[in-house]
Structure formats: C-alpha cells, structure tokens
Amino acid sequence: MLGPPLRHALLLLPTVIFARPGPALGQLHADFLRIGARDINKGEFGFPNHLTPLKEYQQALEMDVRIQRQVDKSGNAELTGYVGRLAEQIQRRSDLKGPLWLRLTRSQEHLAFSTLAGRAYIDEKLVRIAENESQLAGAIAHEVAHLAARHGAENISRMRLLDANPSGFLTLLRPCLTIGNPFTSGGTDGFWQAVCYFNEIEADELATQYLWNSGFDPEGLLNLLSVLQDHNWLDAPPGPSQTSSHPPISVRQKRIRIQLKKLPGLEAARLDSSDFQEAREQTRANGVPLSRK
C-alpha cells in the first residue's frame, strides 16, 4: 500500500480505473489531426504551470525514489521489455514532449498511475486483466495522456496557489467547471475532487485519440473499463487519496463513445498480438490475480 507521504504527493495523479458523478457532453481537444504538433497545455484547458522543466524533473525524481521504496519492481525482464515497447509506440504518436520512463511493478495497490516529467507505473496485474493488446494499450495511453497534459505539474501549482490563497479555490477551478463538473462547492476537498474529475475526463479523451493515432483499436480503453468493472477492480478506493474523485464509469464510457464517433475509421485497427497473449500467459503462470480479493 502507498504510504502517507506518497499519497500526499500523488493527490491528483490517478490510476486508470476508478470512478464518481457526471459532466456535460463536449470535446476538449477537437484538433486530433494535429497530435504531436499541437500544444494541449495552453488556452482554455491549460492551467498555468509554475514549475520550470528543471523543477518538474527534480520533483519527479524525488517522487520516484519514494515510490520505489513502496512498490516491488517486476523481476520479469521479458514482460518489462514488452510493456516498455508497447508504451514507446503510444508515446511516439502522442502529445507527450520528452521521454517516457515506464516502470513495471508487481502487486502494488493500484493498477496504473503516473506522476510527472514522463514517469508512469504499470502493474503486472494489468497485463493479466486486459483481454487483448488494445486494452492494455488503452491503459498505457491513459497514463501517457496524464503526462502529456502535465496534470501532475499543474496540480502542484494549484496546491501552492491554494496554500497562498485558501479562499480562492473556485477561481482556481477553471477550466474544470466547463465540463459540467458536479463539485462546485465544498471547500478544499470539493476543489480537489473537481480537478481530479476533470483530469480523468481529459485523459480518457486524449488516450482514445492516441490509440487511434497509433493504429490500435480506439475502443481499447472503453472496453478495458468494462473488464475492470467485471473483475471488481472498481470497488477499490478512488486513487492515491480518499479525497480524490473520478467520474462514474457510465459517464466516462459515454464521453469516450462521443470521441470515437468523431475519429475517422481505421482500415486495420490493431486489436491483439501474439506478444500480448504470451505476456498475459506469463502473468497467469506466475500467479498474478485476475480479480481483486
């Protein structure tokens, strides 16, 4: 289980799976034909980020040290290599600027989460739970999306601004309320719930675009959410902090379906591969659990 210092540091750096109440429909980033060339961190949906690239990198390293003390690194070199290659394919066709450092973990509390400056963590359980490669790619794309949108750095900036002006949380919520976010009051806890809610909606949309742009079945994340629900992974706490909140699965899936209707069709979307099925079989043979106990 993640310890208290890490929980505070990762307050709004959520896993791929968890949920709560519902936004208005619409598209946050309609310019999907410019993936990689666009700047998704400016304009209406970009929160002012006061961390310099160097400070963000240093913060990520400090968090990574704490995380590695609290999670077990996967000892399966073949599986680690496969997941890393899959992540690289998605990262190359995303908006993420800079390298991606992905660590494969074993038996941590969360299936997947990201911090900042390109750091993402995927648990072996996710390889076991996903039914095909596009679903695993969807989970990875979701974390890449959090990193591309710089949610971690933005939220650290929000935390500092909130500390400086505790009464100004409603002003800092913009643009989070533009998607019909239900958390418009409630003090600091409501503030963080609203931010986390928005971050998940944005990451789902971007992840679906990245799947499409990488040639994977763009329904990968949509279908993974159903699988996670079927295997009882959605009964877990909603992320690294009990005060964070995610949209309900039905809302997330509804918004993903709207995004899917806007994407051009693919002649041969990549659904699965023998490499994935071999990797999944390795996790099964190693006793990685399929459902939450």
Amino acid of residue 16 = V
Token pair recorded at residue 203: 């990451």
d(CA 44, CA 259): 19
**pLDDT at res. 288:** 74
Reported pTM: 0.83
* Residue pair 273/45 in contact by the 8 Å Cβ criterion: no
Residue 55's contacts (CB-CB under 8 Å, 6 or more residues apart) are none
CA-nearest of 13, 47, 8 to 178 is 47
Q: In DSSP terms, which residues pair with 113 in a beta bridge?
A: 121
Residue 167's contacts (CB-CB under 8 Å, 6 or more residues apart) are none
**pLDDT at res. 246:** 73
Exposed e or buried b per residue across 207-223, where buried means at least 16 C-beta atoms within 10 angstroms of its C-beta? bbbbbbbbbbbbbbbbb
**pLDDT at res. 196:** 84
**pLDDT at res. 173:** 58
pLDDT by residue, tens only, the chain of 293 residues: 323 333 333 333 433 333 333 334 567 888 999 999 999 987 555 566 677 888 889 999 999 999 988 889 999 999 999 999 999 999 999 999 999 999 999 977 789 999 999 999 999 999 999 999 999 999 999 999 999 999 988 888 888 877 776 666 556 555 555 555 555 555 666 777 778 888 899 999 999 999 999 999 999 999 999 999 887 776 443 333 434 457 888 889 999 999 999 999 999 999 999 999 999 999 988 877 666 65
Q: In DSSP terms, which residues pair with 103 in a beta bridge?
A: 121
For residue 72, the surrounding DSSP H or E stretch is strand 72-73
Token pair recorded at residue 72: 């077990």
**pLDDT at res. 201:** 93
**pLDDT at res. 27:** 75
